[in-house]
């Protein structure tokens, strides 16, 4: 996982986004254990309390399952995984549309641009 933090957003939310990304990219696999809080904190160079908070939130979303002493694992529930994928992609699209809007480009025009790029 690559850890980069923007200044203007809570760190725990950025950790959540990185973990979601790792699941989407197949770096963390459904049903498999994820690294411990301590290991993640050391990798990301952040406070373990902040990692703990991010993982607890992801558990609440159902994306991670707590296995008690054996650590946390990624859910195998297809519906939850699909919902997370959809939400992440939507968020990406939302950010993209906002950036285009700054330049006065509508979502439709942006889509047209993306299609043209695809064809090239």
Partner 1 sequence: MILEQYTLQTRGLTKTYPGAVALRDLELNLPKGKIIGLLGPNGSGKTTLIKLVAGLLTPTGGEITVCGKPVGPQTKALISYLPDRPYFGKQGKVAEQLDFFEDFYQDFSRLRAERMLQELGISPQSRFRELSKGNQEKVQLVLVMSRRAKLYLLDEPIGGVDPAARDYILNTILNNFDQDGTIVISTHLIADVEQVLDEFVFLHQGRIVRSGNVDQAREETGKSLDELFREVFKCLPNC
Residue ranges in contact with partner 1 by CB under 8 A: 5, 7-12, 41-42, 44-50, 53
CB of 98 to partner 1, least distance (A): 15
The backbone torsions φ and ψ at residue 76, rounded to the nearest 5 degrees and listed phi first, read -105, 5
3-class secondary structure, 17? helix
Cα R_g (the chain), whole angstroms: 17
Token pair for 52: 């703990």
Question: Which is closer to partner 1, CB of 50 or CB of 75?
Answer: 50
CB of 96 to partner 1, least distance (A): 20
Residue located via tokens 């993982």: 55
CB of 24 to partner 1, least distance (A): 24
Question: Which is closer to partner 1, CB of 42 or CB of 89?
Answer: 42
């Amino acid at each position: 996982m690559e850890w980069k933090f923007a200044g203007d957003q809570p760190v725990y939310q950025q950790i959540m986004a990185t973990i979601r990304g790792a699941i989407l990219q197949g770096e963390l696999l459904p049903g498999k254990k994820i690294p411990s809080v301590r290991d993640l904190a050391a990798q990301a160079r952040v406070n373990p309390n902040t990692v703990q908070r991010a993982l607890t939130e992801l558990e609440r979303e159902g994306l991670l399952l707590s296995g008690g002493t054996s650590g946390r694992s990624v859910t195998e529930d297809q519906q939850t995984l699909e919902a997370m994928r959809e939400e992440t992609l939507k968020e990406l699209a939302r950010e993209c549309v906002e950036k285009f809007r700054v330049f006065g480009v509508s979502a439709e025009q942006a889509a047209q641009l993306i299609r043209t790029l695809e064809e090239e």
